Structure 1
Amino acid sequence: MKISYNWLKQFLKTKWTAEETEVLLTDLGLEVEGITNFESIKGGLEGIVVGHVESCEPHPNADRLKITKVNIGKEQLLSIVCGAPNVAAGQNVPVATIGTTLYDDKGQPWPIKKGKIRGEVSEGMICAEDEIGIGKSHEGIMVLGENLIPGTPLNQVFSVERDQVFEIGLTPNRADAMSHWGVARDLRAGLIQNEISIPLDTPSISSFHVDNRSLRVSISVKQPELAPRYCGVSISGLEVKDSPDWLKNRLKAIGINSKNNVVDATNYVLHELGQPLHAFDLDKVKNNKIEVKTLKTGTKFITLDGVERELHADDLMICDAEKPLCIAGVFGGEGSGVTTSTTDIFLESAYFNPVSIRKTAKRHGLNTDASFRFERGIDPNITEFALKRAVILIQEIAGGVVSSDIDDFYPKKIEDFQVFLTFDKINQLIGQEIDTGVIKTILTSLDIKVNNVSESGLGLTIPAYRVDVQREVDVIEEILRVYGYNNIESDSKFNVSVANSSIYEDYKIQNRIADQLVSQGFFEIMSNSLTTKAYVDLLEDLKQEHNVDILNALSNDLGVMRQSMLFSGLESVSYNINRKKTDLKFFEFGKTYHKVEGEFQEFKHLSLFMTGSKTPESWTNPQQKTNFFGLKAYLERIFEKLGLTNLEYQSENSDSISEGLSGQLNSKTLVDFGRVKSKILDYFDIEQEVLFADINWNNVLDAIQKKQLKVDEIPRFPSTQRDFALLLDQAVKFDDLKNLAFKTDKKILKNVDLFDVYEGDKLPEQKKSYALRFKFMDEKKTLTDKQVDKVMQKLQNQFETKFGATLR
């Protein structure tokens, strides 16, 4: 939220600098994230002076250029080449001198330098309106008044407003501070605590009066629970045109573009007092009748942005006798807005139900300045005050007369909150006793009325606009933020308790595995658990009825909770590939969400994604693509780190994975992995192979808890290795050979590795070659060659008998 310091000082005549005010606002809980300087004319016209054209001659080398001699109040005239058709001797003109910086329409700097144009020296620039930011015309140079003295700085001829703008990171609970008036109220309380008492100047509405009653508009509120208060008044005979400069500058400082004087006036009051307003062209309101009601679901309505929207039965609408005009508190309609042809308006000021506005805004994906305030809760007691303030301002800048009484629908007054504040509770929560007089002063400065004082506490009335202060603890928080967190003394002694936690805590195991993956070149990603419904249709394994839908989704792309980790990861892969990052290794800890037979379920996962090259290409390191076996190696290192070995792998071909494996332990699936199918990659516009692993983290945690730790002594005797090169049928798997080897010998055979696979035209058809390495060791003595040879012979016989293998 942007707050203009000049605007703020209209309410509080403080002499503090913006930097001092920034510190106090942050201490009060309105954190100032930065201060920016504002100039109504970018550059402040610095370096631009009044020049008098003494002579103007044709350029000898260009038909459309002229050489001028310009007096800027110095002894020597400037020679300036100018291409404007209207430049002539005797004119006073704006001259940008050498070293001046001008700015184009996009705000980009443009320095003025001495140079030559078609062979003639040019010592500056005679400027048009748009080149110095005073106007938009570029038809020729700007001609100034005749009475100006050459050399006069142009910022003395045209007023340049300078301001400092606070960027406040407003927390959602501070609805009361969503305006300059609201911030000024808080600032006043902070100044009082600093022993500086400055009155808060409230805008005057004493000049408001009804001129006639010729344009009364009938107001009917059909759903008072959605519109507890609704005010309106008619103004006739006004002139819609550009706003005066002071109003444009106020709005421009906080980032709002000027529309016309009527719309700008409503925007001004919105940011001044925090009360949204809306002006309707009365010529477009049928029968001068306003109805506040809901319409049938499916009703079509075109908003100001030209988008046709389908209304919901819960959307509150502002209608005339025949049609909807505006989505209440959110967005105006295309046909009812104020234009330059408007002469009569109906001005609306209302308090709408915050929950209703929030749901409507989210339902239609709209976020306006008005909805931002309505859905957080505005002050219901300034509705009429703000309306009168806006009427006075509109009459000041657009003319017109008030042509009706103010019609104020307010059947049930929104009451202030009653809270009893106990002194014991204050001391207990703050940890320090604060003087009762200080507490009363702080509460009074916050417009909180102290009704009665007793030995135990205070009876308080909280104004209705403080929707975040309804409990005793809320009041204590208000006292503390104004008193100052920094003024609370802290003990020199701190007590720390250390909780006993298991080594199997989920977060500890996650950190251990994350550290390992990062050390192996992986990057951790954190994706949104909200996703689009369309992803479910990509896989037959996922069902639409299992979706966990979001009731008030921000958009269709964030309408459901994810059922799979695959798609959010592929979004990240696609995003990086599109930005020329093609070698990727990602991992993510996350959850999937399912609705099965009316019950909600959550499952934890660890997902891995690999694509592109293993390592960067160099002359010492030929480029190699990531492959299935590389992913399997990373997974085995993960399970080895967790102490989960001897996984059994089975073929896994699903809708998402091709040529995949499923790793199981004790009949529970721990991981599924393989290549992502091309049809899914095509959906994400990914043209390169992507490997994906989905680890069921819940099953992993269960397996770890049941794992019995066994500690073995470090072997005292050496191991030995032997190799076999076997010619086998294509159907034989390494796991089959490994399992048979351990069945053949369980005493000295410790490990079996596959270190080479060959399939080529030099082998018989349907054959392949496996190179196996066997590791032997006896924990009680040193092995002899005879013992090892004996086992190797048994292994050879078994491989030949069971699988028809032959030695190569």
Structure 2
Amino acid sequence: MKISLDWLRTLIPAHQPAEEIGKLLTGSGLEVEGIEELESIRGGLRGLVLGTVLTCEKHPDADKLSLTTVDVGDGTPRQIVCGAANVRAGLKVVVALEGAQLYPAQGEPFKIKKSKIRGAASEGMICAEDEIGLGTSHAGIMELDTDLPNGTPAADYFGLGSDSVFEIGLTPNRADAASHYGVARELRALLRQPCHLPDISHFHAPATAERNIAVEIQDQEANPRYAGLLLENVQVGPSPEWLQRRLRSIGLSPINNVVDATNFVLHELGQPLHAFDADQITGQKIIVKRAAEGEKFTTLDGTERTLKAADLVIADANGTPMALAGVFGGQTSGVTDATTRVFLESAYFQPATVRKSAQVHQLKTDASFRFERGTDPHMVPVALKRAALLLQEVAGAVAAAPIVDEYPNHIGHTAVRLRLPRVERLVGQFIAPERIRQILTDLDILISEENEDAAGHAEWILSVPPHKVDVTREADVIEEILRIYGYNHVALRPHNSASYLAKFPNPDPEVVRQNTARLLSGQGFSEIITNSLTNSLYFEKAGEKNEELVPILNYNSADLNVMRPTMLHSGLEVIRYNVNRRQRDLRLYEFGKTYHRAADGKYSEKNKLVLYLTGNTAPETWQQKSDKATYHQLAGAVQQVLASLGFPQPMSQPVQHAYLAGGLTLLAQNQPVAQLGAVSGAVLKRLDVSQPVWYAELDWDWLVKKYKNTLTARELPKFPEVRRDLSLVVDKTVTFDQLRQIAQRTEKKLLQSLNVFDVYEGENLGAGKKSYSVSFTLQDATQTLTEQAIDSVMQRLIQQFEQQAGAVIRR
């Protein structure tokens, strides 16, 4: 939102520099993101002053030049050579002093320097209007008629002072500040300066009229107040320069005097207005109603739109829509160059109604921006009269009928209880009741009752005006007080404390997530963030039931019309994008949510951690060729993640996943915590991914909930470890995980670890057989292992492998 300081100063005497005002606004919650300096003309006439020609004589060495002395108000007359035919003694002129930068109407800028012209010293320049960018005439120097003293800046004489424009990042809760008057009200509390509305006391409309535009509100909940005024003798044309300059200062392009006047009032008072061509209102009646489902309506931009039954429209006597209420006007009823009668609308619309229509039809306007957040119903007639007076000034308009103001359900102030001890408790510092009272008064919040509670503490009942849309609770009022009191005025105590102890999660999920992210990044994985919205066609083609998906009711694109039930497809889109740009070797991970709808219609969200592995393990070099990424590399990364979370040795079973063509499900505490394997060819083809992809999906909610901090420290072992190897022939159905569990159950004291370092299948082993080569690491922390102890352990292991897994030991 742009706010002009020059415009702001017409509403409040804020004479402080722009930077100081910007700091005050930022401190109160209206963050000033930047300040832009605007100049009416380039250079702002800096270095140019008014002067009087004291003497004028012919130049001794040039017939067309004059040698003058000029008083510029500093007590030292300047000698200036001038070539203008109309220069003469006693003339009031504009003088460019030495060092001034001039920006002529044509040509390049140039700087005034002390020089010699035909042998005579010249200490400045007497200016023509084209030489300083004020016009195109070069008939002679400007002759001024003014009593202003010499030395007065030329910018002051021409009224060309610069303007500062604040770029304010308006948060949704500050609808009350969405205008110049709203910001002026804020400064009133910050500067303790009086703030005033524009003068509308001289507005006059006839008490009766032979014909007027009638108004009927059919939906009073969506439109609590609607006011309008019929204007005649309107002459549509360009706006005067001052009005155009005001609009340009905040980034708006002038259109015509009628539209410009309504835009001016919107940005001045925060109340949107709309101007109808009164001759296009069939039946001379306005009806505010809900649209018919599927009804066609062409907006001012020439786009035909299909209305929804929830849309609120402004219609004529036939029920034909003329405007989408609070959002956009219609093409047929808009003001044109031929318009002479205007019906000016000023209304209050329920925010949710406007917000839904703006979202459904993808129309974001200055009007909808304010209506969506909440406007002030009390400003409706004020803005209407202000606009009427402007149109009287800039378009010759005359009020032809009394104001129509339909206000069936009055919107009053909100009553809020404020306990003064509560202020100190939430702020953390005592604020004197007199200061609180002063702040509330400056914010238009009235104290309607003053009481005491049972403990004798002060308790006030406040009356909050409707323009304070977001102030509905005691905490909101205290926030308002603190904004104006100043966060910087709340002192930091040597020992901070809180009035209550919150239950902090242990462990902190965010810390666990950051640690896991660092672990994966350290292994060469890159984090990605993808859209939670996806395409329902991915799942329809996969045969999934549509009722299990979570649809978006007002989606913008058919490609993003459901919430994702899995993160796989959005990650594959990232892989496709990179592979198509010849970035084929990818290690990716993402933390995110999936969304689900159960058979009973209830919705749920689940947090997931997913990993993707595709392409080569490393770039190819002259030293070695690069191998393709494998399942085991992905499994190793997953197991490291699980180990870091306190689950170092998960069990496994064959995966059953709709999108995986094989792999494992890892279990911790008999709970499936991870699924990993190769993405099926059908899914890759559907997503147009041209190379194999390994995928893992971890149940992040469960892992964080069951997280164990297993970091321990122990002394370095004093006695050496021993390795023994076995080669076991087993059925193909026997997994290494089964062998690992058998070994750990058999020897719990000396067995430190075991690892498979070779797997072999061949005809010489027999049908349905395979061989595992397994290493076993044994160690005793109290003594050196003897051969007898080692052999005893290995014999027990062999015996259990033979009995429980049907293994044959290859000797």
Place the TM-score, normalised by the shorter chain, in its bin. 0.7 to 0.9
Q: 2:259 aligns with which of 237, 240, 263?
A: 263
Q: 2:778: which partner in 1?
A: 777
CA apart distance, 1:656: 1.8
In structure 2, relative to structure 1, the CA distance for the partners of 1:709 and 1:358 (3 Å cut) is same
CA apart distance, 1:311: 2.1
Q: 1:694 aligns with which of 686, 689, 697?
A: 697
Residues 307-322 of structure 1 aligned to structure 2 (within 5 Å): 307-322=303-318
Q: 2:126: which partner in 1?
A: none
Counterpart AA for 1:4: S
Name the SS of the counterpart of 2:236 in structure 1: coil
The answer as to whether partners of 2:757 and 2:774 remain within 8 angstroms in 1 is: yes
CA apart distance, 1:623: 4.1
Structure 1: distance between partners of 2:526 and 2:794: 49
The answer as to whether partners of 1:188 and 1:200 remain within 8 angstroms in 2 is: no
Q: 1:232 aligns with which of 228, 234, 239?
A: 228
The answer to whether structure 1 residue 591 and structure 2 residue 593 are counterparts is: yes
The answer as to whether partners of 2:759 and 2:773 remain within 8 angstroms in 1 is: no
Gaps of 5+ in 1: 49-72, 76-91, 101-128, 135-142
The answer to whether structure 1 residue 347 and structure 2 residue 344 are counterparts is: yes
Q: 1:223: which partner in 2?
A: 219
Q: 1:670: which partner in 2?
A: 673
Q: 1:167: which partner in 2?
A: 167
Q: 2:283 aligns with which of 259, 280, 287?
A: 287
Q: 1:145 aligns with which of 113, 118, 137?
A: 137
CA apart distance, 1:371: 1.4
The answer to whether structure 1 residue 178 and structure 2 residue 178 are counterparts is: yes
Residues 621-700 of structure 1 aligned to structure 2 (within 5 Å): 622-652=625-655, 654-665=657-668, 667-681=670-684, 684=687, 686-700=689-703
- What are the Cα deviations for residues 187-220 of structure 1, in whole angstroms up to 9, with x where unaligned? 011111xxxx345353435144459946622221
Structure 2: distance between partners of 1:371 and 1:305: 16
- What are the Cα deviations for residues 81-109 of structure 1, in whole angstroms up to 9, with x where unaligned? xxxxxxxxxxx994322789xxxxxxxxx
How large is the RMSD of aligned CA atoms in angstroms? 4.8
The answer as to whether partners of 1:612 and 1:688 remain within 8 angstroms in 2 is: yes
Name the SS of the counterpart of 2:266 in structure 1: helix
In structure 2, relative to structure 1, the CA distance for the partners of 1:133 and 1:469 (3 Å cut) is farther
Q: 2:108 aligns with which of 94, 97, 113?
A: 97
The answer to whether structure 1 residue 521 and structure 2 residue 524 are counterparts is: yes
The answer to whether structure 1 residue 484 and structure 2 residue 486 are counterparts is: yes
Structure 2: distance between partners of 1:787 and 1:302: 90
Counterpart AA for 1:190: L
Name the SS of the counterpart of 2:286 in structure 1: strand
Structure 2: distance between partners of 1:447 and 1:232: 27
Q: 2:567: which partner in 1?
A: 565
Structure 2: distance between partners of 1:727 and 1:454: 89
The answer as to whether partners of 1:205 and 1:388 remain within 8 angstroms in 2 is: no
Structure 2: distance between partners of 1:372 and 1:775: 70
Q: 1:397 aligns with which of 390, 394, 405?
A: 394
Q: 1:38: which partner in 2?
A: 38
The answer as to whether partners of 2:33 and 2:167 remain within 8 angstroms in 1 is: yes
In structure 2, relative to structure 1, the CA distance for the partners of 1:665 and 1:415 (3 Å cut) is closer
Counterpart AA for 2:587: K
Name the SS of the counterpart of 1:637 in structure 2: helix
Name the SS of the counterpart of 2:643 in structure 1: helix
In structure 2, relative to structure 1, the CA distance for the partners of 1:806 and 1:243 (3 Å cut) is farther
The answer as to whether partners of 1:205 and 1:392 remain within 8 angstroms in 2 is: no
Counterpart AA for 1:21: I
In structure 2, relative to structure 1, the CA distance for the partners of 1:13 and 1:707 (3 Å cut) is closer
Structure 2: distance between partners of 1:526 and 1:609: 13
Q: 1:82: which partner in 2?
A: none
The answer as to whether partners of 2:181 and 2:197 remain within 8 angstroms in 1 is: no
Structure 2: distance between partners of 1:778 and 1:474: 66
In structure 2, relative to structure 1, the CA distance for the partners of 1:335 and 1:616 (3 Å cut) is farther
The answer as to whether partners of 1:205 and 1:385 remain within 8 angstroms in 2 is: no
The answer as to whether partners of 2:257 and 2:394 remain within 8 angstroms in 1 is: yes
In structure 2, relative to structure 1, the CA distance for the partners of 1:157 and 1:529 (3 Å cut) is same
Q: 2:436 aligns with which of 425, 439, 464?
A: 439
CA apart distance, 1:155: 9.5
Residues 428-467 of structure 1 aligned to structure 2 (within 5 Å): 428-451=425-448, 456-467=458-469
Structure 2: distance between partners of 1:7 and 1:551: 42
- What are the Cα deviations for residues 226-276 of structure 1, in whole angstroms up to 9, with x where unaligned? 111111122233233333333223222222222322222111111110000
Q: 1:61: which partner in 2?
A: none
Residues 509-588 of structure 1 aligned to structure 2 (within 5 Å): 509-527=512-530, 529-531=532-534, 533-540=536-543, 542-549=544-551, 560-574=562-576, 582-588=584-590
Structure 1: distance between partners of 2:605 and 2:523: 29
Q: 2:28: which partner in 1?
A: 28
CA apart distance, 1:345: 2.2
The answer as to whether partners of 1:745 and 1:791 remain within 8 angstroms in 2 is: no
The answer as to whether partners of 2:234 and 2:395 remain within 8 angstroms in 1 is: yes
CA apart distance, 1:483: 2.2
Structure 2: distance between partners of 1:636 and 1:448: 60
Structure 2: distance between partners of 1:686 and 1:509: 32
The answer as to whether partners of 1:280 and 1:337 remain within 8 angstroms in 2 is: yes
Gaps of 5+ in 2: 49-80, 84-102, 112-129, 145-152, 453-457
The answer as to whether partners of 2:666 and 2:672 remain within 8 angstroms in 1 is: yes
CA apart distance, 1:15: 1.6
The answer as to whether partners of 2:740 and 2:754 remain within 8 angstroms in 1 is: no
Structure 1: distance between partners of 2:409 and 2:590: 53
Name the SS of the counterpart of 1:343 in structure 2: coil
In structure 2, relative to structure 1, the CA distance for the partners of 1:706 and 1:431 (3 Å cut) is closer
In structure 2, relative to structure 1, the CA distance for the partners of 1:241 and 1:770 (3 Å cut) is farther
Name the SS of the counterpart of 2:434 in structure 1: helix
In structure 2, relative to structure 1, the CA distance for the partners of 1:552 and 1:790 (3 Å cut) is closer
Structure 1: distance between partners of 2:159 and 2:682: 64
Structure 2: distance between partners of 1:488 and 1:516: 41
Structure 1: distance between partners of 2:14 and 2:165: 16
The answer to whether structure 1 residue 253 and structure 2 residue 249 are counterparts is: yes
CA apart distance, 1:181: 0.5
Q: 1:88: which partner in 2?
A: none
The answer as to whether partners of 2:25 and 2:31 remain within 8 angstroms in 1 is: yes
CA apart distance, 1:20: 0.8
Residues 4-19 of structure 1 aligned to structure 2 (within 5 Å): 4-19=4-19
- What are the Cα deviations for residues 146-191 of structure 1, in whole angstroms up to 9, with x where unaligned? 42449x9999999867322112122222221110001001101111
CA apart distance, 1:34: 1.8
Moved more, 701-710 or 393-402: 701-710
Structure 1: distance between partners of 2:367 and 2:437: 34
Q: 1:415: which partner in 2?
A: 412
The answer as to whether partners of 1:12 and 1:201 remain within 8 angstroms in 2 is: no
Q: 1:332: which partner in 2?
A: 329
CA apart distance, 1:279: 1.3
In structure 2, relative to structure 1, the CA distance for the partners of 1:732 and 1:390 (3 Å cut) is same
CA apart distance, 1:407: 1.2
Name the SS of the counterpart of 2:435 in structure 1: helix
